Amino acid sequence: MGNPKLDMLLEELSSQQYHQAMLIALKESDGQVYQLLTREYERRQNTLQLMAAENQCSRAVLAALGSVVQNKTAEGFVGARLHGGCEVIDDVERLAVSRAKEAFGAQYANTQPHSGTQANHIVLTALLESRDKILSLALDQGGHYSHGSRVSFTGKFFDVENYYVDKETFLLDYDAVRDKAAKFKPKLIICGASAYTRTIDFKKFREIAESIGAYLLADISHISGLIIAGAHPSPINYAHFTTTSTYKPGGPRGGLIVMGKDYDRRIKVGTKDIPLWEHIEKVTFPGVQGTPYFNNIAAKAVFFEETLSDEYRTRQFKIVENAKRLANNLLDLGYDVVAGGTDNHMVLINVVNLREGLTGATAQRCLEECGIIVDMIRLPYDKKSASVTSGIRLGTPIVTKNGMSTREMDSISTLIDSVLKTVKMIGDSEYELDESFKTETRDKVKQLCSKFPMR
């Protein structure tokens, strides 16, 4: 199937040409979807993607996602499939598993979860019976729906107690977690967060879990790329189970479960005594999921190999450097940066403290109208509701992937500041922003982004 001329041609295409070429088959058969996908490419290219929960995968990952492997149906794991014709996808899954283990320094990897939430679903189903106890970070303190929020299945089927960050510093208070654990006696402690900017001490979490005989789950979705590169300490040999989504560190959409030294610890299941990893596989299928997405597993294999490169590892440190620069610039400009700064890829800003009437929701909207894409976010002890919020969350993975450095972080800080200081608030949810100001800012954003085409 090799065609060196075609390979050369594809490599030489600009970002825009490449993404257009990938959609040629679609253009003929479905012009409407083609237009939508083209619009999304243009939106991403012409606006600043400061989403902490997003990343941008490589062309190689996209190619694997769009491959013929997508058509294969097979249930179970390698060596224990229920369908025929698995020779190739067995090799695909074996490769993905061995590369995931190498990337994370793990003893065991399960590449089948469809998402980070599914990975958590599998671990919780493996360990807990209905109404068993979980101790986790509250959703509005930076936790995640799948860690026991009332509106998720995890809050519905289990008894959940939350730990909180310190009221003054907004840092995790490990003594308070220890006290809660001793009183509540959960069967599972969950650590990891969707909105926490400081280093997480996984060793301390394990000590707390050990002290009461609980299991520890580390959900590292937001920081897994940093962990692979050594830009954040790893939980692999502290947590019994580590889960992550695979798109946040820059791979395809999907989830992953990895285990370190506890992978073959025994667990009693009915009358049997089996290793934890084996139990996790039985719960994955048929317990929680059906057929795996083999195109995503192939794309995960591609991504895990990419994480071993110097480029990937260096980039993770740059992501942190860029986030620190944004945080410091905004502090200098008088912003209330939650926890006083960041150790990872995200920056949390309390915009309510910036000016009267501004909220996370209005800040998100007016920044978006100017081409700057961020998330509103509830902050610890937030008095605003989830649809209004006091904060915004900024993230640096995508801008860093496209080649931006601290110099561009200075321009981005100035752009954010000019929007948030120009907007005129009218009541709690409305604002005025001059049309010419919006156009001028969008043009500045577009010009900046055009120097850093999507990679």
Residues forming the site for ligand DSN (CB under 6 A) = 53, 116, 144, 194
> Given the complex with ligand DSN, which of 81 and 365 has the nearer CB atom?
365
Least Å distance, CB 139 to ligand DSN, is: 11
Q: Please tell me the distance from the alpha carbon of residue 415 to that of residue 371, in angstroms, as a whole number.
A: 10
| Cβ contacts of 10 within 8 Å, gap of 6 or more | 18, 21
Rg (CA), the chain: 23
Q: Please tell me the distance from the alpha carbon of residue 72 to that of residue 244, in angstroms, as a whole number.
A: 24
Least Å distance, CB 274 to ligand DSN, is: 30
Which residues lie across from 275 on neighbouring strands?
A: 266
How is residue 123 written in tokens? Answer: 């671990």
> Given the complex with ligand DSN, which of 72 and 401 has the nearer CB atom?
401
CA 45, distance to chain mean position in Å, is: 20
Least Å distance, CB 451 to ligand DSN, is: 28
| Cβ contacts of 13 within 8 Å, gap of 6 or more | 21
> Given the complex with ligand DSN, which of 124 and 276 has the nearer CB atom?
124
> Given the complex with ligand DSN, which of 111 and 194 has the nearer CB atom?
194
Least Å distance, CB 345 to ligand DSN, is: 11
Q: Please tell me the distance from the alpha carbon of residue 33 to that of residue 15, in angstroms, as a whole number.
A: 20
Q: Please tell me the distance from the alpha carbon of residue 82 to that of residue 80, in angstroms, as a whole number.
A: 7
**Phi/psi at 267 (5° precision):** -135, 140
> Given the complex with ligand DSN, which of 53 and 256 has the nearer CB atom?
53
Contact 299, 57 (CB under 8 A): yes
How is residue 55 written in tokens? Answer: 């990343």
Q: Please tell me the distance from the alpha carbon of residue 323 to that of residue 396, in angstroms, as a whole number.
A: 6
> Given the complex with ligand DSN, which of 47 and 55 has the nearer CB atom?
55
> Given the complex with ligand DSN, which of 235 and 395 has the nearer CB atom?
395
Q: Comparing C-alpha atoms, which of 454, 91, 447 is closest to residue 301?
A: 91
**Phi/psi at 320 (5° precision):** -70, -45
Q: Please tell me the distance from the alpha carbon of residue 348 to that of residue 194, in angstroms, as a whole number.
A: 11
Q: Is the bond into 286 cis (omega within 30 degrees of 0)? A: yes
Least Å distance, CB 325 to ligand DSN, is: 22
Q: How many residues appear in the chain?
A: 455
> Given the complex with ligand DSN, which of 76 and 254 has the nearer CB atom?
254
Least Å distance, CB 145 to ligand DSN, is: 7
Q: Please tell me the distance from the alpha carbon of residue 144 to that of residue 28, in angstroms, as a whole number.
A: 41
Least Å distance, CB 194 to ligand DSN, is: 4
> Given the complex with ligand DSN, which of 210 and 368 has the nearer CB atom?
368
> Given the complex with ligand DSN, which of 101 and 393 has the nearer CB atom?
393
Least Å distance, CB 280 to ligand DSN, is: 21
SS3 252: coil
Least Å distance, CB 330 to ligand DSN, is: 20
Least Å distance, CB 222 to ligand DSN, is: 6
